[in-house]
Amino acid sequence: MSSKLLVANWKMNPQTAAEAIQLARAIDKKNVVIAAPFVYLANLKLKIKNSELCAQDVFWQEKGAYTGEISPMMLKKLGVEYVIIGHSERRVLGETDEIINKKIKAALSVGLKIILCVSEKKFIQNQIRKDLKGIKIINLIIAYEPTWAIGTGKADTQENSKKVLNFIKSLFKDKLKVLYGGSVNSKNAAGFLNMFDGLLVGNASLNAKEFGKIIKDAHFRN
Ligand code: PGA
């Protein structure tokens, strides 16, 4: 069985570069992917040895007059390996499937690995169809994150998440890694790790001790 992947999604945290470096060093282990704010990525690249870096978003154009945007190649050249695209916290701010589709194409074209977030089962097939329109599936990981489970302390049940996992796997003929995300903590991580190829962890990834326990659990299986 392939190794479990743990993605630490820091979102808009921590508030200083010094804290970011301290936290990254504490969780700098193999098969750990750190999704840090853009402004910390270059610095973190110099400080980490075992983990890999992930951006939390990317723009779809190569270069030019796009104030405030970051291109896929900028990330690639920095040594960033992954990018999260289509997180529900961005979808609610207006990111459409069409935008997500453009971002995925642009990111794949420079060789970034994509973590595509999808939400509840009833939306997944449609999201996947639109988000991946015209795309040959390479370097793609799907993260199943029911919106009601994100940041609420209420993770999905084993039973339901297993059903959704099987559904997603069947859409891709079992060829893709599928992660679970949504209120993962050190207590419920084992259950999800038993089924999924890894975890996308928000809140709990900001606490080195708590995330450390999840890392131990995942590495124990690798
Ligand atoms: P959470 O966030 O673990 O804090 O629920 C997960 C995510 O949004 O990726």
Peptide linkage before 14 cis (omega within 30 of 0):
yes
Q: Cα Rg for the chain, rounded, in angstroms? A: 16
pLDDT of 222: 72
Q: Give me ligand 1 centre to Cα 65, in Å.
A: 33
- For ligand 1, what atom is nearest to the CA of residue 181? 6
**Whether the CB of 202 sits within 6 Å of ligand 1:** yes
Whether residue 107 contacts residue 138, with contact meaning beta carbons closer than 8 Å, is answered with no
Indicate which residue's Cα is closest to atom 7 of ligand 1: 202
Predicted local distance difference test score (pLDDT) of residue 27 = 97
Q: Tokens standing for 171?
A: 């859409």
Q: Is 219 a catalytic residue?
A: no
Per-residue pLDDT reduced to its tens digit, 152-182: 999 999 999 999 999 999 999 888 999 999 9
SS3 217: helix
User: What is the DSSP secondary structure assignment for residue 134, as one 8-state letter?
Assistant: T
pLDDT tens digit string along 56-112?
Answer: 999 999 999 999 999 999 999 999 999 999 999 999 999 999 999 999 999 999 999
Q: Say if residue 19's pLDDT is above 90.
A: yes
Q: Among 111, 113, 120, 116, which Cα is nearest to 131's? A: 116
Specify the pLDDT at position 174: 80
CB 56 within 8 A of CB 33: no
For residue 118, give the H/E element and its range. strand 113-118
pLDDT tens per residue across span 96-145: 999 999 999 999 999 999 999 999 999 999 999 999 999 987 889 999 99
Asked whether the predicted pLDDT for residue 1 surpasses 70, the reply is no
Residue 220: pLDDT band by 50, 70, 90 thresholds?
Answer: confident
Q: Is the CB of 184 under 6 A from ligand 1?
A: yes
Torsion (CA) 99, 183, 166, 142 in degrees, nearest 10? 30
**For position 120, what pLDDT does the model report?**
92
Mutate to test the pocket of ligand 1, among 119, 150, 179, 186 (most ligand atoms within 8 A of CB): 150
Per the model's pLDDT, the better-predicted residue between 9 and 222 turns out to be 9
CA neighbor of 184 nearest in space, from 8, 35, 2, 19: 8
> Ligand 1 pocket: which of 5, 7, 9, 144 to mutate (most atoms <8 Å of CB)?
9
Give exposure, 33-69, as e/b (b: 16+ Cβ within 10 Å).
Answer: bbbbbeebbeebeeebeebbbbbbbbbbeeeeeeeee
Is 87 an annotated catalytic residue? yes
Q: What is the pLDDT of residue 12?
A: 98
